Structure 1
Amino acid sequence: MLESYPVMPGAESFFFKGNQIGILISHGFVGTPQSVRYLGEYLASEGFTVYGVRLKGHGTHYEDMEKCSHQDWIKSLEDGYSILQKHCREIFIIGQSMGGTLTLNLAHKHRSIKGIMLINAAINSIPPMEMYKNKHIPRFVPEGDPDIKAKNVHEITYTKAPVRSMQQLFILMEKTREKLPAITCPVLAFRSEEDHVVPPENTNFILSTIQSDLKEVVPLYNSYHVATMDHDKVFIGEQCSLFINKLTSNVFTPTRMKEPRY
């Protein structure tokens, strides 16, 4: 599927070349790499190689998104993984919201992934979208303001969301749920305690279903759904870096995650 519209300024994918440890980052539904760029820049400053992928149909126009299937989004992340494999020895994946769903898919397929980090991942419930599961009209619905607690934060996103795309997201979630029991890689899951898009119970379900020996949850008390652009964004970067360094060192000692600092 060829996109009909150009990429919006600031919504482009990003790549920072660093060491042999690669980190692939995925934004969420109707979002763009801009929403996770701060996290990418933070991890790049720690020396890692970082690639923030733009999912197909995102960052251009919602009519492009409407043409996409969930397989297109899976392929976008798969392509990003292939790019990082050319540069890195070990690869971690980070996904926010639907990006977390895609991350779980990738972890199921590629058992060589060193570890994954989920940020308010969607897996079984998105209340604002539930009413559109089986509808064909309207074709588009207003997207509303991004769910961010911090003031004066601008996220590049669509003003409307295609109903067909919402249904593709639900299909993706359903298929991913079936794969959870077979996921065994280390998982660090961030969970906003107040999230108006994806309830915290989604994260609880993921952690109770996957079979990873190492699975940790980090509660976020001062951020809403788009946590990578919210008050906890520095804390998220710090914890991701700690998680990655712990798993790439020769000595592994499980440690309790710190609480956010304000």
Structure 2
Amino acid sequence: MPVLPGAEPYRHEGGEVGVLLCHGFTGSPQSLRPWAQFLAERGLTVSLPLLPGHGTRWEDLRITGWQDWYAEVDRELRGLLERCERVFVFGLSMGGTLSLRLAAKHGDAVAGLVLVNPANKLHGLAPYALPVVRHLVRTTKGIASDIAKEGSVEIGYDRVPLHAAHSLRAFFRLVDGELPQVTQPLLLLHSPRDHVVPAADSARVLGRVSSTDVTEILLEQSYHVATLDHDADRIFEASHAFVSRLAPSVGKEGTATGG
């Protein structure tokens, strides 16, 4: 199945400091591409993979699970660690959850985390019915494009396959238990007016990680996909300052690949 135009992965070979960016559930690299390009222009080595089942059609997502999504970002991280002296992991929404698990599992190999509206659980009563309902109903309405900025659109599915949502719920519960293993410096940015992931998720993450170098920033002008919203430049600048503080040398320019 061909990848949707704009949803292609993005990579840039820069200097000795690398960044892995993880996109969200039902989304694609398009939601993080401007962020990735901003970092690439400043000499960092950047990897923004397309998660399995994403960026094509929702039917492809239906036959994947969290193990597939995590395996992809784990592979990309290992590749960056072979090429770079220091590697940071950034994530949006479920991409933030993936980032947290990478930090918990890889320890000091991950130099720091930047999370934007990280997801921690599926809220409400509906998730408890998923084990049964997913066999009766294939999909529910999509969650893409929760953006305040007029004219800004996220490339994502208009339906959420319930099999994949069931796997996502299990993944959230797994990672919640691993949060105390996260010790890396952390920059967490979240939107008070997020219609997909409530502020309680960011509070839960901040309350359970063991990191001591922690910065929290509120994104007052943006909804969930803040990386394509009014606060995008603020996210980009703050994340670059975070990396520059922890790894002052960003190396030399490289070459970009990807659509």
Same fold (TM over 0.5): yes
CA–CA separation in structure 2 for the residues paired with 1:242 and 1:127: 37
CA–CA separation in structure 2 for the residues paired with 1:124 and 1:109: 20
**Which residue of 1 is the match for residue 145 of structure 2?**
146
Q: 1:132 to 1:148 in 2, by over 3 A?
A: farther
**Which residue of 2 is the match for residue 34 of structure 1?**
30
Shift of 1:63: 1.1
**Which residue of 1 is the match for residue 130 of structure 2?**
133
Q: 1:238 to 1:157 in 2, by over 3 A?
A: same
CA–CA separation in structure 1 for the residues paired with 2:129 and 2:39: 37
Identity of aligned residues (%): 35
The residue correspondences of 1:1-262 to structure 2 (distance < 5 A) are 5-111=1-107, 112-127=109-124, 130=127, 133-134=130-131, 135-136=133-134, 137-143=136-142, 146-249=145-248
Greater RCO, CA 8 A, separation 6+: 2
5+ long unaligned stretches in structure 1: 251-262
Shift of 1:154: 2.0
More off after superposition, 210-219 vs 139-148: 139-148
CA–CA separation in structure 1 for the residues paired with 2:102 and 2:63: 22
Shift of 1:162: 0.1
5+ long unaligned stretches in structure 2: 250-259
CA–CA separation in structure 2 for the residues paired with 1:249 and 1:128: 46
CA–CA separation in structure 2 for the residues paired with 1:228 and 1:128: 29
Q: What secondary structure is seen at the aligned counterpart in 1 of 2:19?
A: strand
Q: 1:46 to 1:7 in 2, by over 3 A?
A: same
Shift of 1:125: 4.1
Q: What TM-score results when the alignment is normalised by the length of structure 2?
A: 0.91
TM-superposition CA deviations, 1:140-199 (whole Å, max 9, x none): 122155110001112111121101111111111000000011111111101111110100
Q: State the number of aligned residues.
A: 246
One-letter code of the match for 1:221? Answer: E
Q: 1:82 to 1:199 in 2, by over 3 A?
A: same
TM-superposition CA deviations, 1:86-130 (whole Å, max 9, x none): 321110000100000000000011011100111100013445964
Q: 1:27 to 1:129 in 2, by over 3 A?
A: farther
Structural RMSD (CA): 1.6
Q: What secondary structure is seen at the aligned counterpart in 2 of 1:110?
A: helix
CA–CA separation in structure 1 for the residues paired with 2:242 and 2:160: 34
Contact kept? 1:125, 1:199, Cα under 8 Å: no
Q: What secondary structure is seen at the aligned counterpart in 1 of 2:5?
A: coil
Q: What TM-score results when the alignment is normalised by the length of structure 1?
A: 0.90
Q: 1:85 to 1:51 in 2, by over 3 A?
A: same
**Which residue of 2 is the match for residue 260 of structure 1?**
none
Contact kept? 1:127, 1:197, Cα under 8 Å: no
Shift of 1:233: 0.5
**Which residue of 2 is the match for residue 253 of structure 1?**
none
CA–CA separation in structure 1 for the residues paired with 2:118 and 2:99: 9
CA–CA separation in structure 2 for the residues paired with 1:129 and 1:108: 29
Q: What secondary structure is seen at the aligned counterpart in 2 of 1:22?
A: strand
TM-superposition CA deviations, 1:25-78 (whole Å, max 9, x none): 011000000000000011111111111111111001111111111100110101
Contact kept? 2:187, 2:215, Cα under 8 Å: yes
Shift of 1:82: 1.9
